[in-house]
Amino acid sequence: MAREPSRATAATGAAQAVDGALERARARVNLAAIERNCERLAGELAEGARLCAVVKADGYGHGAAQTARAALAGGASWLAVVEARELRELRAAGLRDVPVLVMGALTGAEFREALADGGEVVVWSEEAVDAVAAAGGGAVHVKLDSGMGRLGTRDPERASAVVEAAERAPGVRLSGLMTHFATSDEVRDGGFFEEQLALFTRWARGLAESRPGVLVHAANSAAVLRDAASHFDMVRCGIAVYGMDPFGEDPAEHALEPALELDTYLAEVKLCRAGESAGYGRRFVAERDTSIGLLPIGYGDGWRRALSNNAEVLVRGTRYPLVGTVSMDSVTVDLGPEPGELHGEQAVLIGRQGEERITAEDLARRLGTINYEITCGLSARVRRRYHHDGEPAGDGQP
């Protein structure tokens, strides 16, 4: 039998938490973990290689400027974003003197904006070099597409011609030679990673020898952990900076600490009699009398609808199943017939509680996606709260 409701809630069988200190859906970001992850990555690097922290997409959902500062404190010396607006936001947040690589396929207007903000841009055609010169000049990184099949030119000779065009163009400075790996996170890739690395090495080493100071860079997080030969002069790390596993398994295996915890609270706890249901479409029907808790987080917060009847939550160190359809603003949890006084309790959706933990990798497996998409997908409605190992940071909220 479910716990009998108190007299105050007997009419509805509900207990609603209204404590003013509670927060609806909250991503707690531990900046100290980001610092330590960067220290750990920097310690891994081949002699002299720099760490560039990739903070695009609002720092993979963690907050770009806050992440950037923590990464710099942890040993990163470059930042990378994808679009000019992301660079502008970093500059506006006070990150004025840090070199920032703007990695995306930019429009003419974006080239102008990125260069005006002191960004270094990526080019792979003479036309793009001309656009940089027309925008008043600036630093460029020439990209060879060594196998990703996305940005960059596939032809090493053409890429070399772009290098020479950059050197001739007025106001343009050749700053880097780069590529990006397609399978560094897939250990059984039939040797594709090694092929990309060999192709890029041949192209870049030849050019760099006669161009001292030009940065050669290729590695993302997985490549950094996979092969030191990919480190060259700089590595561009995103996912590992945030303490997620580039190989999608367990961050702890690589001594990485997840920086983000997602929590909410039990806004209501009420009886659900056998045969009663919870949520749209009645996708959960109680088989026995139980207590259903309401968590005020839903797909409008980035807690995906595909997690309906397909996720767990930690409350007081115990795992409970989420049940019923995830709606835009809420989801329900089966707390069992004897839940005790749980309304108002913290509910952890990503993170640790007691001996239990739920990782972004766990959720990604449930959803058939990757950990990147889990944190990037948290919407702006989720409050970001920053701390250093529990001590409030920045916004004063632990």
Ligand X SMILES: Cc1ncc(COP(=O)(O)O)c(C=O)c1O
Give the separation between CA 367 and CA 347, rounded to whole angstroms. 20
Determine which residue in the list 236, 254, 270, 304 makes contact with ligand X, applying CB under 6 A.
236
Three-class HEC string of 48-66:
CCEEEEECHHHHHCCCHHH
**239 lies in the site for ligand X, by CB under 6 A:** yes
Q: Can you tell me the distance from the alpha carbon of 106 to that of 122, in angstroms, rounded to the nearest whole number?
A: 8
76 touches ligand X (CB under 6 A): no
Q: How many chain residues interact with ligand X (CB under 6 A)?
A: 12
- Cβ proximity to ligand X, 23 vs 227, nearer residue: 227
* Residue of the chain from 74, 119, 246, 248 that contacts ligand X (CB under 6 A): 246
Residues 361, 366, 369: CA angle, nearest 5 degrees: 65
Residue 108 to residue 136: CA distance in whole angstroms? 12
Which residue in the block uniquely carries the two structure tokens 């081949």?
46
| CB contact set of 277 (below 8 Å; sequence gap of 6+) | 283, 284, 285, 286, 324
Q: Please, what is the angle between helix 31-44 and helix 64-73, to 10°?
A: 50
The active-site residue, picked from 56, 242, 320, 372, is 56
- Which residue of 68, 144, 237, 267 would you call a contact of ligand X, by CB under 6 A? 237
Considering only 32, 45, 49, 54, the residue that binds ligand X (CB under 6 A) is 54
Q: Which of 265, 280, 299, 386 is the catalytic position?
A: 280
Q: Verify whether residue 270 is a known catalytic residue.
A: no
* Closest CB 41 distance from ligand X, rounded Å: 9
Q: Does 298 bind ligand X (CB under 6 A)?
A: no
Smallest distance, Å, CB 321 to ligand X?
31
Active site residue 280: yes
- Name which of 74 and 293 has its Cβ closer to ligand X: 74
- Check binding of 180 to ligand X (CB under 6 A): yes
* CA angle (355 as vertex; 354, 360 as ends), nearest 5: 95
DSSP for 208-266 reads: HHTSTTPEEE---HHHHHH-GGG-TTEEEESTTTTT--TTSS-GGGGT----EEEEEE-
> Which amino acid, one-letter code, is at 119?
G
Query: With binding defined as CB under 6 A, does residue 238 bind ligand X?
Result: yes
Q: Tell me the window of 20-28, 238-246, 312-320, 379-387 that interacts with ligand X (CB under 6 A).
A: 238-246
Binding window for ligand X (CB under 6 A); candidates: 16-24, 126-134, 236-244, 374-382: 236-244
Any contact of residue 165 with ligand X (CB under 6 A)?
no
For ligand X, the binding residue among 146, 153, 175, 221 (CB under 6 A) is: 221
With CB under 6 A as the contact rule, which of the stretches 126-134, 155-163, 191-199, 217-225 interacts with ligand X?
217-225
Which residue's CB is nearer to ligand X, number 149 or number 170? 149
Site string for ligand X, 93-112 (x = CB under 6 A): ----------x---------
Cα 143 → chain centroid: 24
Of positions 220, 291, 308, 353, contacts ligand X by CB under 6 A? 220
In our burial notation (b when 16+ CB lie closer than 10 A, e otherwise), range 310-326 reads: ebbbbbeebebebbbbb
Contact yes or no for 332/315 (Cβ under 8 A) = no
Q: Which is nearer to ligand X, 249 or 341 (CB)?
A: 249
Q: Any bridge partners for residue 210, and if so which? A: none
45 binds ligand X (CB under 6 A): no
Which residues are identified as catalytic? 56, 280
- Which residues lie near ligand X (CB under 6 A)? 54, 103, 180, 220-222, 236-240, 246
